[in-house]
Amino acid sequence: MFVIGERINGMFTEVRKAVESRDKGAIQRLAQRQLAAGADALDVNVGPTRGKAVDNMLWLIEAVQEVTHAPICVDTPKFDVMEAAVRACRNPTIMNSTKASPAELDRFVPLAVETGCRLIALTIDETGVPRDVDGRVTMGATIVTKAMEHGLAMTDLFIDPVILPVNVAPKQPAAVMGAINQLKLISDPAPMFVLGLSNVSQNCKERSLLSRIYLAMCIGAGLNAAIMDALDEELMQAAITAEVLLEKQLYCDDYIAAYMSSR
């Protein structure tokens, strides 16, 4: 499981304040805590911060790069912010994200190829998030076709079938798993699959429990990566355990300790 730590996001008050007051130490501590907890990469999103999005994003990236060589997942829908950010990144970079509209893919995919970045593509287009499995599979096929057309390797492409909160969209968790299953079957080689896991439990009461169980279910369906709360220890343990049970990690009695000490 490729764990992308979600916490450097202006959606969190502490991060928004740190960005607005240029408190580099607060961001760097968040980066280091997530990496120590087992994150493989760090999502970076300016969220609803005051000031220019490009300036805030470049400042955040620089703060993170000063303390780690870990991959940075640049989280913005805006092409101009994305382009400035990927050109400023020295760490390995994941572009997060493009939508599945052909016109968007025709800008984001060539940028990923030119700069050697990995790319997350959402199954969202001008009509919004698909309601069912079929809509996601159709958009997934568009994404794969465009990636091949522009020469992006499937190992560098992550499809995000977009999970919504279960309390307002109860059919979606199963539809997302169905889409991962089908898209894995119809593409050879298959791209990778990623989710913004915490969306599933937003504004729900049993947040941690919902996210944890859903992550294990999605790993069973073939999920390769998640933007998730690496600081939630039980969530990390669920991910490692699911991988042991799918023989993606070797079993030993102390598999959690072994996994964490290999980081």
- Quick one: which segment of 6-14, 48-56, 213-221, 248-256 binds ligand THG (CB under 6 A)? 6-14
Look up residue 91 and give its two tokens.
């760490």
* Residue whose C-alpha is closest to residue 140's, from 94, 191, 76: 191
158 vs 259, beta carbon nearer ligand THG: 158
Tell me which of 54, 120, 152, 223 binds ligand THG, using CB under 6 A: 120
Question: Rounded to whole angstroms, how far apart are CA atoms 181 and 237?
Answer: 24
Taking the chain, what is the end-to-end CA distance rounded to the nearest angstrom?
13
Look up residue 215 and give its two tokens.
């992550």
Instruction: Determine contact, residues 212/234, Cβ cutoff 8 Å.
Output: yes
Provide φ and ψ at 182, rounded to 5°. -70, -40
**Beta-bridge partner residues of 4:** 41, 227
- Quick one: which segment of 124-132, 146-154, 193-201, 211-219 binds ligand THG (CB under 6 A)? 193-201
Q: How far is the CB of 245 from ligand THG (least distance, A)?
A: 25
In the bound state, the residue with its beta carbon closest to ligand THG is 196
28 vs 96, beta carbon nearer ligand THG: 96
Binding to ligand THG by CB under 6 A, coded x per residue (else -) over 33-62, reads ------------x-----------------
Residue 41 C-beta-side C-alpha neighbours within 13 Å: 22
Question: Rounded to whole angstroms, how far apart are CA atoms 218 and 222?
Answer: 6
Q: The tokens 């079957």 sit on which residue? A: 185
- Quick one: which segment of 10-18, 50-58, 173-181, 244-252 binds ligand THG (CB under 6 A)? 10-18
Look up residue 262 and give its two tokens.
């290999």
H helix runs in 163-204, sequence order: 172-186
- Quick one: which segment of 11-19, 28-36, 184-192, 252-260 binds ligand THG (CB under 6 A)? 11-19
Number of chain residues interacting with ligand THG (CB under 6 A) = 17
Q: How far is the CB of 86 from ligand THG (least distance, A)?
A: 15
Question: Rounded to whole angstroms, how far apart are CA atoms 127 and 125?
Answer: 5
Q: The tokens 């369906």 sit on which residue? A: 221
Give me the amino acid identity at 260: M
Tell me which of 56, 76, 96, 98 binds ligand THG, using CB under 6 A: 96
Q: Which of residues 196-235 bind ligand THG (CB under 6 A)?
A: 196, 198-199, 202, 227
Question: Rounded to whole angstroms, how far apart are CA atoms 203 and 191?
Answer: 31
162 vs 215, beta carbon nearer ligand THG: 162
12: contact with ligand THG by CB under 6 A: yes
125: contact with ligand THG by CB under 6 A: no
Q: Which of residues 14-33 bind ligand THG (CB under 6 A)?
A: none
191: contact with ligand THG by CB under 6 A: no
Residues lying near ligand THG in the complex (CB under 6 A) are found at 6, 9, 11-13, 45, 75, 96-97, 120, 160, 162, 196, 198-199, 202, 227
